[in-house]
Amino acid sequence: MIRTIFKNIISDTVLKIVVAIFLLLLIFKPMNIKDIDLDTIMIFFNLMLIISLVKRAKILAYISNSIINHVQTTRQITAYITSSSFVLSMFVTNDVFIITLVPLYILIAKQLNLSIVYPTVLITIAANLGSAFTPIGNPKTFS
């Protein structure tokens, strides 16, 4: 099992591209350890851990079933999740709602055998646009 996981990682095209870009960037600008914000990394790790626990506790399945029962078409599911991403990211950062709503949509998509990529892109775009409307949703400062 570990061997197949390792083979999947090694054969992943996106990973190869990211590593190539990373190595190219190291040539032009050497990395400084101060550039890594460990607090932010730990906050996102904890958020992903909480989402995983919510999924394991079947709370995510309950929410996905209520969404499925509430709408009539698959297009409405995508619109509901995307508009929720847009509106809610105005009040909490866009990263939080991307990390929260994408697993919810993937669970719904697997239940109904729907496409995953296009609605995930829509959720991400909606979260970024929604967070740009308020300073609460996009609290990044530029230095």
Residue 40 identity (one-letter amino acid):
T
User: At a CB cut-off of 8 Å and minimum separation 6, what does 130 contact?
Assistant: 85, 86, 87, 88, 89, 90, 94, 137
The residues, any chain, with a CB within 8 Å of residue 133's CB and separated by 6 or more, are 90
Phi, psi of 82 (to 5 degrees): -65, -45
Helix orientation angle between 38-56 and 59-70, rounded to the nearest 10 degrees:
70
Q: What is the pTM of this model?
A: 0.73
Give residue 40's pLDDT.
84
H/E segment holding residue 19? helix 13-28
CB atoms within 10 A of CB 109: 20
- Taking the alpha carbons at both ends of the chain, their separation in whole angstroms is 46
Note down pLDDT in tens along the chain; length 143 residues. 677 777 777 888 888 899 899 889 888 888 788 888 888 889 889 998 999 899 899 998 999 999 999 999 989 999 999 999 999 998 888 888 898 899 999 999 999 999 999 999 999 999 989 888 887 766 664 44
The whole-number pLDDT of residue 27 equals 87
- What are the Cα distances from residue 54, in Å, to 78, 82, 86? 21, 21, 22
Task: State residue 143's pLDDT score.
Answer: 44
pLDDT at 139: 60
- The tokens describing 99, both together, are 């990390």
pLDDT at 142: 46
